Amino acid sequence: MEKEGEEEGAAGVERGYPVEIRPGSTRIGWIGVGVMGGAMAARLLAAGYDLTVYARTPSKAAGLAGAGARLAASPAAAAAASDVVFTMVGHPADVRAALLDPASGALAALPRGGVLVDCTSSDPALARAVAAAARAKGCWAVDAPVSGGDVGAREGTLAILAGGDERVVAWLAPLLGRLGRATWMGAPGTGQSAKIANQIAVAGAVVGAAEAASFARAAGLDAATFMEAVGAGAAGSRVAEIFGRRMVERDFASGGFVEYMVKDLGMALGEESKKLRRRRRTTTTTRKRRGGGGASRRSAFPEAVSGNGGERGRETGDAGRHHRDREDEWVIIRRAPGVCGYASVAISM
């Protein structure tokens, strides 16, 4: 049966995608218009694509509506009027509800041959489930999480990590190309696995930039001059360029929220325990909630990392751990064995 399903799906690609994607003829649905989703949807609208938007908070879609997008009352309503439906929401539970809810989900109303493209950083297992459900209906699903933050979303320079049928990903090139650079990672779910790995690297790099800037400032150096100087050497990186500048300039406009990085690193630990079946010592996540002040889950990520969130505690440490004891915090501890014997750094949130 599985082989028959695969053969039917392959025929579906041939039947469903002979028509080239073009502005004015290809209908796009968009679900989720937050900091990232709103900017990405705006790029497709500006390119001339017919856009139908669903926003859980309709006021967030006012700018898109003013530019010509139609508003839908539900994900299903958006999908019914679309050939390709993008989702950019917060959490895996939001993805499941937006796509798979039998009454209001997008897949229930998506025309046969339609394509779901989930740009949310989500669970690889859920991506595989969505792809299977789409195939059963004669549709297709691509998991295409992105990296590059709000700047990349506005400028169309996102790194797009795509999992799914390679032919479908190639067919989507005109749309994905407006958003950034897409790389096909493999079968359904591999895009999400790649994004989780990306987030491990990003979290470590952001912590490193924050620790370096903090040390430089404590040593009496001008942090901005320091970051610019080392940026030309081995310490230079895209992460340091974006987040380091924001930390130095105290620019904490919300380009990415703390809770989403916590979610992503939590999935990294989940992937390791369920699939990889071995424990990595590069990422350990601990969640703490206490009453009081401090940086909240909705703080901008660089703000939380650079310690701008109302630190109240004292620094504590032992042979293998160093963290700030703070109220109302999310603490991500990244252990880095091999650095100064056994060093560790923390993102206190």
Amino acid at 141: A
Q: Which of 195, 263, 274, 275 is labelled catalytic?
A: 195
Instruction: Return the number of other C-beta atoms located less than 10 Å from residue 6's C-beta.
Output: 11
- For the purposes of burial, counting CB atoms within 10 Å of the CB of 279, is it exposed (0-12), middle (13-18) or buried (19 or more)? exposed
Rounded to 5 degrees, φ, ψ at 57 are -110, 100
- Greatest Cα pair distance, the chain, in angstroms, is 69
How far apart CA 76 and CA 48 sit, in angstroms, is: 23
Q: What is the distance between the alpha carbons of residues 263 and 203, in angstroms, rounded to a whole number?
A: 12
Q: Is 288 a catalytic residue?
A: no
Q: How far apart are CA 329 and CA 289, in angstroms?
A: 6
- Buried-exposed string 210-224: b where 16+ CB fall within 10 A, e elsewhere: bebbeebeeeeeebe
- Identify the CA nearest to 327 among candidates 292, 279, 275: 292
Give 234: exposed, middle or buried? Use CB within 10 Å, 0-12, 13-18, 19+: exposed
CB 140 within 8 A of CB 149: no
Beta strands in the chain (DSSP E): 27-31, 50-54, 70-71, 84-87, 115-118, 140-143, 146-147, 158-163, 180-186, 284-287, 315-318, 321-324, 330-337, 342-348
Distance from C-alpha of 133 to C-alpha of 127, rounded to nearest angstrom: 10
Residues involved in catalysis: 195
